Amino acid sequence: MTKISIAIPTYEMNGSGAYYFEELLKTIRTQDFHDYEVCISDHSKNDEILGVCEEYANYFNIKYYKNENKRGNCSANANSSIEMCEGEITKIIFQDDLFVDKSALSKIKEVFDCNETSWCFNGFSHTKDGKNYFRTMIPKWTDMVLEGRNLLGNPSGVSLLTKKFVGFDENLTLLMDTDFYHRMRYQNGMPSIIEDCLTSNREHESRTSSSGVKYNGKIDHPDGGWMINIEELEYALEKNKETREYPDEK
């Protein structure tokens, strides 16, 4: 069995998708751990992502799927990419993000080899140009994760035992990550934390969190509030109303 599957959901991203995707593949190619496969579910209408895959097919094992179902739904495409994974461990990473540590996959493998854990988060930074990095963060579980208080980062910082994947909710956009984190913890316990910075999140206007999402409410918190979509919040709270207390807290 392949040790690690790298799941990458892709799409055109306003014309920048293929460029960002190739930048990510370059950082995968330099990894010092090599027992992995790359699983791509592509929502693009064109074949630019496929073209990049063909260029890199000689460097590592690439599995490509042209996903024409629910095009534009980030959760659905992420689910599709992970469903392709056959490795023991799945590392999720979005096409516009990057690995910034050449030993990232080795460190992820080590966490699962040395700990009884089902999932983990890694430290991450931010970048605008893929070359300069800033605002490095160590993921932290907080109260009100389900409501959108997110100090854990986006799913590019998540790795999990493939068999423990609970699926992203395809009805959610803004809360797709925190709803997923909540359900993962309820079913699989607290995640492990890799404090080392292994990935970097690219900041740009085409990111899901900054485009096409209606912010129509705010949640106040002593440590700082955040904007929300009220309809998504009500849906997530109602759906998870029976699982608000985590088994590991009892």
Q: What is the pLDDT, as a whole number, of residue 172?
A: 96
pLDDT tens digits, 52-103: 999 999 999 999 999 999 999 999 999 999 999 999 999 999 999 999 999 9
Q: Half-sphere exposure of 131 toward its Cβ, with a 13 Å CA cutoff? A: 1
What gap in Å lies between CA 206 and CA 10, rounded to an integer?
13
Q: What is the pLDDT, as a whole number, of residue 25?
A: 98
pLDDT tens digits, 197-248: 999 999 987 665 545 678 999 999 999 999 999 999 999 999 999 999 999 9
List Cα–Cα distances, 35 to 48, 164, 242, in angstroms. 26, 20, 40
In the predicted model, is pLDDT for residue 104 greater than 90? yes
pLDDT tens digits, 21-43: 999 999 999 999 999 999 999 99
Domains of the chain: 4-249 (3.90.550.10)
Beta carbons of 103 and 32 less than 8 angstroms apart: yes
Residue at 198: amino acid letter: L
> What is the pTM for the complete model shown?
0.96
Neighbours of 18 (CB within 10 A): 21
Q: What is the pLDDT, as a whole number, of residue 37?
A: 98
What gap in Å lies between CA 107 and CA 113, rounded to an integer?
10
Q: What is the pLDDT, as a whole number, of residue 250?
A: 75
DSSP string over 77-115:
HHHHHHHT--SSEEEE--TT-EE--TTHHHHHHHHHHHS
